[in-house]
Amino acid sequence: MKMNKTPPISVPEPPKLLDQLRGRLRLKHYSIRTEVQYVQWVRRFILFHDKRHPQEMGAGEVESFLTHLAVSDKVASSTQNQALSALLFLYREVLEVDLPWLDNMVRAKRPARLPVVLTVQEVQAVLERMEGTHGLMARLLYGTGMRLMECVRLRVKDVDFARGEILVRDGKGAKDRVTMLPQRLIPALQEHLQRRRLLYEDDFVKGMASVYLPDALERKYLNAATGWVWQYIFVARSYSIDSRSGTERRHHMDEKLLQRAMKKAVLAAGLTKPATPHTLRHSFATHLLQAGYDIRTVQELLGHSDVATTMIYTHVLNKGGKGVISPLDHL
């Protein structure tokens, strides 16, 4: 009589370190961009130390890696601090290592830089050289004070034409805020939305109208992902694979396209300032202060948590060196 052999019990392998890192970042609701950057820094840290496991390393290895970034790679202080944040997250949240050196790591000191600000005439010269969707987006940046990614991620439901408002959702620091919708842009934005609606209807017929929804809303509201109000206003020309869900869908426009269009316009306008789309946000704040609006109002429109951050724009209110007339001009 033959005995039935019990099949061996298969024990699933524990997830790899980088997969654990991704899982923890998603549990903490970190953005996809932060996830990509943190995974990249942890991978570089491991490769720098000949593929040793971070569990076997400590303060010395972290400091030598950060020193290499600053001395050999000559990265900016903000980049070095981002690498440190990624490693601190790895040790605290993934490896659950509670070591005293985690609290004693010194971050690189960021230099105090004044923002690049364009004059009203310079802004006009740049915007006159930007047309189509990129021109509309650039005018929105200057007219509302939004950050680049806040503009790129705008959805149909975020624009209130009746109230003349734009609701900026999940901005920096995961905060919502309201900013104005410039009246001059309403006709152009409505026309753009009409064309966008036609593209949406074509995608809907193909079964490709689904968009990414945050915080499990796709499971809570089953039809919301294909609804018109959740659609991105500024979208890519083609479909792409969502890196988290693996779903093929039409994503929002790549912000690099607007950055390139802005760069071409700045060169065409003959400006010598290193202006980028973010410069339009700086110019928005500065020109409001010059127009006499109080700094608290500007702080709320920009979404700054501390008024000290907004105070940096007051440097342009005084011409020259703090408004002092040079003695050479008195000769």
Does domain 120-315 correspond to CATH entry 1.10.443.10?
Answer: yes
Determine which one of 91, 142, 232, 313 is catalytic: 313
Inter-CA distances, 63 with 45, 80, 90, 186, Å: 11, 11, 15, 52
In this predicted structure, the answer to whether residue 236 has a pLDDT above a threshold of 90 is yes
192 is catalytic: no
The pLDDT value given to residue 225: 85
For residue 10, give both structure tokens: 């298969």
**DSSP state for residue 155 in the 8-state scheme:** B
For residue 4, what are the contacts with CB-CB under 8 A and spacing of at least 6?
none
Pick the catalytic residue: 43, 157, 273, 278?
278
Residue where the block lists tokens 């408004």: 323
Q: Mean pLDDT lowest for which of 37-41, 135-139, 231-235, 302-306?
A: 302-306
Query: What CATH code is assigned to 17-104?
Result: 1.10.150.130
What pLDDT does 270 receive?
A: 95
**Beta strand 177-180 with 165-168: parallel, antiparallel or unpaired?**
antiparallel
What's the pLDDT at 294?
87
pLDDT exceeds 90 at position 216: no
Catalytic entry in 22, 134, 147, 177: 147
| Residue that wins the pLDDT comparison between 91 and 330 | 91
Residue boundaries of the structural domains of the chain: 17-104, 120-315
Token pair for residue 265? 């316009």
CA–CA separation, 126 vs 269, rounded Å? 6
| Residue 207 one-letter amino acid | G
d(CA 227, CA 217): 12
Q: Name the active-site residue from 196, 251, 287, 304.
A: 304
Residues 6+ apart with CB under 8 A from 22: 35, 39
Distance separating alpha carbons of residues 302 and 284, to the nearest angstrom: 9
The band of 186, judged by pLDDT with boundaries at 50, 70 and 90, is: very high
In angstroms, the CA 58 to CA 43 distance is 16
pLDDT at 8 over 80: no
Indicate the residue type of 51. K
Evaluate whether 301 touches 289 at the Cβ level (below 8 Å). no
172 as an active site residue: the answer is yes
Known catalytic residue at 107: no
Is the CB of residue 125 less than 8 Å from the CB of residue 269?
yes
Q: For residue 15, what pLDDT is reported?
A: 75
pLDDT tens-digit readout, 122-169: 999 999 999 999 999 999 999 999 999 999 999 999 999 999 999 998
Structural Rg of the chain based on CA atoms: 25
For 46-52, the CB contacts below 8 A with 24+ separation are 46/17
CA atoms of 236 and 257, how far apart (whole Å): 10
68 is catalytic: no
26 carries an active-site annotation: no
DSSP letters spanning 284-324 = HHHHHHHTT--HHHHHHHHT-SSHHHHGGGGGGGS-TBTTB
Segment 50-105, tens digit of pLDDT? 999 998 888 888 888 988 888 888 888 888 889 989 998 999 899 888 666 656 66
Model confidence at 326, in pLDDT bands (50, 70, 90)? low
The pLDDT value recorded for residue 114 is 80
186-190, 211-215, 235-239, 318-322 — which is least confidently predicted? 318-322
**What angle, 0 to 180 degrees and rounded to 10, lies between the N-to-C axes of helices 132-144 and 277-290?**
40
From 129, 172, 263, 273, the catalytic residue: 172
73-107 CB burial, b ≥16 within 10 A, e <16: eebeeebbbbbbbbbebbbeebbeeeeeeeeeeee
**Tokens standing for residue 60:** 């010395």
**Cβ proximity of 214 and 142 under 8 Å:** no
